[in-house]
Structure 1
Amino acid sequence: MLIDSSLSELTALSPLDGRYAAKVQGLRPLLSEAGFMAHRVEVEVAWLIGLSTLGLPELPAFDAAARARLLRVVQEFSQADAARIKVIERKTNHDVKAVEYWLKEQVADTPELAAAAEFIHFACTSEDINNTAHALMLQRARSSCLLPAFESILQRLRELAHQHAGQPLLSRTHGQPATPSTLGKELANVVARLQRAIRAVADVQPLAKLNGATGNYNAHLAACPDVDWPAFSARVLQGLGLAQNPYTIQIEPHDWMAELFDAIARANTILLDLNRDLWGYISLGYFRQRLREGEVGSSTMPHKVNPIDFENAEGNLGLANALLRHLSEKLPISRWQRDLSDSTVLRNLGVALGYTVVACEACLRGLGKLELDAEAVDADIDACWEILAEPVQTVMRRYGLPQPYEQLKALTRGRGITQEALQGFIAGLDLPAEPKARLLALTPRAYIGLAARLAADI
């Protein structure tokens, strides 16, 4: 087999770095290895600048030029910088120590900063830097990629719900004909669910800690006993836009991450449910799919127009949730004060969110192709007069007629009924004139309750 093993779109083991690479461009600067390094550098610099404000005799406050130099290190961090850190890591065999040594290299040409070099990573354990970097990474990925992807689907669904608010739809409970709804109302149901799920994703508060090897500020206090380290740590984190978790072991326990991943998985599950239903409606002929010039549906059946976008979304949502649920179950568990089993798992944050983003794009693409076949939808519901057994027996109940449910069951269960037969049955009922006239005028398509109003109100 003459296949080059060097990494490319064609040789990538993960489709996120191959087939779907273009779809996750927004996540790559945030959740890749280089993105992780960049965020670690940002945390190290924030800690160092914070230390310089404490008034320690050994660390005078930085002047404006020195502070600007440090901020440029963060703002101008490049792929070449990440590559240099990897070179250092090959010697140290420790990724955070490599970041520290690289940062010392960067400030060596600035005397004021070079003199303060040993305050880089001062009193920190690696996890202080890592957990804070992860919190920044996830917070930014959520706001710049994940929530916009969910919101785009939500907006499209709301538009469709309003557009089709009054389109009668034959419901199917247990796969069998049931009390009608409208297409808009069924989409409005998803809108309502997704709105709540998106709020849950957005409301999770990222937490971080900068409190030393086992969460007690031991080294901090040994070196500088007069500093209020918990308050200082909270200020540094607040400056980064994060909240402090004051009680931790060596690692921040990741409970907030579990909340976030569970919330994302719930939103994904709602979308998975939607994609399966739309797949089914396409199969029933309720929707046609807008054609793309040159596209092929089957290698042997030229007529095929497959619902591939909804199938793609379903598959990738499943992959995303498998990873998200493993992350939420595994990350909050650590042996005693720390074990490293979380470290390798955390390197898959981009994979879990990447599959979610790919799935959302596929779902949105599918929604954009849908074209309602109203005639097919109407024909389906018009053929099911037996669904009016429900309103007939309910009206009979109100007016005290004997065994209303049982009579309609005998008339319709498992056999259906024609318009003529049902209206003949209604005509023979001992009902007041007004409700009898209402029932005789009722059609399956008109029996939609408040569905149209509910859809329009979403």
Structure 2
Amino acid sequence: MDFISPLDDRYYSELRDFATSVSERAFVKYRLRIETLYLDFLINLLSKVGIVKPLTSNERDKLLSLEFSDEDYARFRELEGRLGHDVKATEYLLREKLSNAGLSEIARLVHLGLTSEDVNNLALNVLIKIAVYKHLIPELTNLLVTLTHLANEHVNTPMLGRTHGQPATPTTFGKEVAYHAYRICYWLWEIISIKLQGKVSGATGSLASFKVITNEVNWLDELMNFVHDLGLEPALVTTQILPADSLTHLLTSIALMAQTLINLTQDLWLYNMIGYVHVSGKPVGSSTMPHKVNPVDLENAEGNFKLGSSILMEISRYIQVSRLQRDLSDSTIKRNIGLGIGHVILGIKRLTSVLNNIKVDVEVMSKELNEHWETLSEAVQVRLRVLGMKDAYEKSLTLFRGLRLSRTEYIEALSRLGADDPMLMNLNPHSYIGYAREVTINTINHCNEVLSTVKTQVDEELSRLRRLGFLNQ
């Protein structure tokens, strides 16, 4: 079959469940459910002021149990093709389903008072919540758990640090892994802290159509309650469209989080290059060089993070602007949100797979540390200054700068400095790791606390979406 996006073909098996949640078909399903929930809400309100009859328990059960099938989607496409309007097609589809369910008397109330964007903004935010809480965050937490386990496993594994690509003071592999875990924690917390907004405010944001329905309802409060019950924060003022700021905040946060994961993939790539870690490759690494074992999954992850981040950043930039009360140029842009998040999720899956199969070569790390005793020069100049040597840094500079020293040469350098301090004499690159162990353990504990909070919020969000009927079909 012919596909435009590789997510729908080459990588589909890894994203099948995600595709089901964010496809065009899914978006139509969510809009139909919004229309259904709004109809239930509207009838309940209007029945209280005597405009319509309240639904019986059986009628309400029928209404809220309406499902969305492949046949419904095919019918929607027929209606949209004839009408040239997707939300109107959704409205007509719901009317037909109501008639088929024996609820034709309430069909006239479908979409009453609403504009298309009232439905679209709510359905899109449902789609995004499902994408984030059902798919993105679980993959991120899997990655984070994998990183914290790796950090804990190597909390005491010393290795040579590198700044500007050159040997620097030693660190531990566990701390360097913990650094990346900590960055993921930051963005996880940021993402779950963002409250997406929603609105039901009519064609230009004045709620004019609702005042025509009846003056006996406090529409401002009631419609905000409707939005709030969907798990969204009601926007106080809108045009025809919802202000894009909360959505932009979320999408840019996901995009920037992906940038931090690029940092992780590139560090792992470099560690693999110098032999600190060994990343598993495919059975064939090269079509012409049989010896090659290429870190293709790691490079694939990096590419997906770059593309996903770019897509989400561009969407965020674009949707910040809409002419006057609205223009339609954002519609096609927003339909690519799932594509951007999909690339990020694919990258996370590949990266997690790499980390689950990575081999850390402690011997290579130890051997290289033993070849770089000059990296203790920081300790030397700091300690000698503490002991009273005024020009300790300058003297150390002349003895250590640009050189690679063995243990013997290091001891000779101390002698030339007149340093017979036991601390410096007994120091070695393996032991000069400061508080790396404590920092790593503190970071792991912090990440575990974040993971606990994230799990609670994911459970709450998914429970609400199930209760509202968005995850039941």
TM surpasses 0.5: yes
Where do residues 374-453 of structure 1 align in structure 2 (5 Å cutoff)? Answer: 374-431=362-419, 436-453=421-438
Cα drift, residue 133 of structure 1: 0.2
Matching residue within 304, 318, 322 for 2:292: 304
Indicate the RMSD between aligned Cα atoms, in angstroms.
1.4
1:318 aligned counterpart, secondary structure: helix
Q: Is the 8 A contact 2:395 2:417 kept in 1?
A: no
Aligned residue number for residue 61 of structure 2: 68
Change (3 A) 1:291 1:259: closer
Aligned residue number for residue 19 of structure 1: 10
Moved over 6 A (4+): none
User: C-alpha deviations, 1:133-170, integer Å up to 9, x for none?
Assistant: 01111112111000001111100000000000111110
Cα drift, residue 110 of structure 1: 4.5
Is 1:171 paired with 2:171?
Answer: no
2:303 aligned counterpart, secondary structure: helix
CA–CA separation in structure 2 for the residues paired with 1:310 and 1:289: 8
CA–CA separation in structure 1 for the residues paired with 2:332 and 2:280: 43
Q: Is the 8 A contact 2:371 2:404 kept in 1?
A: no
Where do residues 48-67 of structure 1 align in structure 2 (5 Å cutoff)? Answer: 48-54=39-45, 55=47, 56-67=49-60
CA–CA separation in structure 1 for the residues paired with 2:284 and 2:101: 61
CA–CA separation in structure 2 for the residues paired with 1:303 and 1:238: 59
5+ residue gaps in structure 1? Answer: 1-7
Is 1:97 paired with 2:88?
Answer: yes
Matching residue within 246, 251, 262 for 2:252: 262
Q: Is the 8 A contact 1:170 1:180 kept in 2?
A: yes
CA–CA separation in structure 2 for the residues paired with 1:241 and 1:77: 22
Is 1:328 paired with 2:319?
Answer: no
Cα drift, residue 361 of structure 1: 0.5
Cα drift, residue 430 of structure 1: 4.5
Is 1:184 paired with 2:174?
Answer: yes
Matching residue within 100, 106, 117 for 1:116: 106
Is 1:272 paired with 2:257?
Answer: no
User: C-alpha deviations, 1:391-437, integer Å up to 9, x for none?
Assistant: 11111111221421111111121122332222123235455x6xx11
1:91 aligned counterpart, secondary structure: helix
1:65 is matched by which residue type in structure 2?
A: N
1:25 aligned counterpart, secondary structure: helix
1:119 is matched by which residue type in structure 2?
A: L
Change (3 A) 1:90 1:417: same
CA–CA separation in structure 2 for the residues paired with 1:21 and 1:267: 23
CA–CA separation in structure 1 for the residues paired with 2:223 and 2:189: 29
Identify the range of structure 1 (117-126 vs 446-455) with the bigger mean alpha-carbon deviation.
446-455
What is the percentage of aligned positions where both structures have the same residue?
35
CA–CA separation in structure 1 for the residues paired with 2:391 and 2:3: 68
CA–CA separation in structure 2 for the residues paired with 1:115 and 1:58: 13
Aligned residue number for residue 459 of structure 2: none
Q: Is the 8 A contact 1:23 1:357 kept in 2?
A: no
Aligned residue number for residue 69 of structure 2: 78
1:438 is matched by which residue type in structure 2?
A: M
Aligned residues: 441
What TM-score, normalized to structure 1?
0.94
Q: Is the 8 A contact 1:253 1:333 kept in 2?
A: no
